[in-house]
Structure 1
């Protein structure tokens, strides 16, 4: 599949959003890669705790040629299976997901990549599914596109979104019109070094129906080859920070926190994640 095209619509503004959202967790999580086999099977176990709720997960991953199968079993005896197949047809990727015993929650997605366009469509596996479709046109430097969701049961659109992005070697800007035209989100990311490890990010989101605006600024700073720090602050005074440190090769410790700078008497929210790979 080509890597020179405009990318999927979901990738518009994604890098900036990830800097402002990824790993800002207030849960406790431990993930252990317990065993890896020569035939491509990897076994993992995950323990989550959010307040008084605990959940244990066991996962297995199997790779074979152009396919990847990922299975997760939780403490409620639910099995989530995701199968990804690449190059079934030229420049395509197919993704199928199923959850047992609730098979009606399954979904099939097909992606097509071209040098100047991409197309993605997905459909739920039930009698009257929701159909999602997205498309982008352009190049790796500038792209525009849109997505829509249609509920065949009620005969109505569940969403429609449009967006445009422009990329340079050291910066990326994106504007997205979402929530059926009710929300405008503009993001800008600027790399601060040639290695593209440190960057600053800004986002402005405005709700047209309420004339409400939210501004978020943040960034990433690489302290050393093993340690990364992220931080963000929004116009409501919510300050978040993330510290990631590679304890041993491929094993990561993540500490995150959130505090309201306009109400320092309120409790600070903290999260801890440990991912161990023997």
Structure 2
């Protein structure tokens, strides 16, 4: 049964939504159009797909989809270059979420060249403290990378993050969000195996009025 149909027109962009309901399941269709690309999204209760195509002579077609529940989900993301006739991107992932705040994921990226597994565990929901680990293996170079990171919310406005990988690189991030539309971030990176070369620092300010 068609319950709602809405059309938005703004700056040559068109968004059309149709929602269907049957047997306690809902389907949401979105169509985004602009002179450079066309995107179609299907959103279900336990699945979603998105297809995007460029409106030019040799477009690149992007497809992404996910299916699953709050506990288990499986997704993929592929890109096809019509000019070369090859897939420029092919990724897939599997994720498990447990009631204790532990999230485990397995990913196959770079057209099967990179295999990674990650673990994320929420230690405290009061101050949003969490720890994460990621292990990555590159088949082409036979190289393994291990990264561990931690996140802690200092207060309602500020959060700090830090990570260390098996190559000795340490990264830190301080983020201050004093309003829903205003964000300040300060980041740094240093190689512990080459401290004499100094580090990298970054500053970002995002203001939305």
TM-score w.r.t. the length of structure 1 is: 0.62
Bigger share in helix: 1
- The structural deviation recorded for 1:261 is 0.9
- The structural deviation recorded for 1:109 is 1.9
Q: In the alignment, is the contact (CA less than 8 A) between 1:82 and 1:95 conserved in 2?
A: no
Q: In the alignment, is the contact (CA less than 8 A) between 2:127 and 2:154 conserved in 1?
A: no
Give 1:122's match in structure 2, choosing from 45, 49, 52: 52
Q: Does 1:141 align with 2:71?
A: yes
The CA RMSD measured in Å over matched residues stands at 2.6
1:1-12 equivalence runs, <5 A: none
Q: In the alignment, is the contact (CA less than 8 A) between 1:84 and 1:93 conserved in 2?
A: no
**SS of 1:180 mapped into structure 2:** coil
Task: Provide closer, same or farther for how the CA distance between residues 110 and 203 of structure 1 changes in structure 2, counting only shifts above 3 A.
Answer: same
Residues 233-276 of structure 1, C-alpha deviation per residue, up to 9 Å, x if partnerless? Answer: 11111111111234577533321111111111012211112334
Gaps of 5+ in 1: 1-64, 70-80, 99-105
Q: In the alignment, is the contact (CA less than 8 A) between 2:158 and 2:175 conserved in 1?
A: yes
Q: Does 1:235 align with 2:166?
A: yes
Residues 174-203 of structure 1, C-alpha deviation per residue, up to 9 Å, x if partnerless? Answer: 111111111101111111113471111111
TM-score w.r.t. the length of structure 2 is: 0.81
1:9-158 equivalence runs, <5 A: 83=13, 85=15, 88-90=17-19, 91-96=28-33, 106-158=36-88
Q: In the alignment, is the contact (CA less than 8 A) between 2:127 and 2:152 conserved in 1?
A: no
Whole-angstrom distance in 1 between the partners of 2:71 and 2:55: 36
Aligned residues: 195
Counterpart residue number, 1:274: 205
Whole-angstrom distance in 1 between the partners of 2:62 and 2:40: 11
Residues 1-31 of structure 1, C-alpha deviation per residue, up to 9 Å, x if partnerless? Answer: xxxxxxxxxxxxxxxxxxxxxxxxxxxxxxx
**SS of 2:111 mapped into structure 1:** helix
Counterpart residue number, 2:3: none
1:186-225 equivalence runs, <5 A: 186-195=117-126, 197-225=128-156
Whole-angstrom distance in 2 between the partners of 1:190 and 1:68: 43
Give 1:182's match in structure 2, choosing from 98, 113, 124: 113
Counterpart residue number, 2:23: none
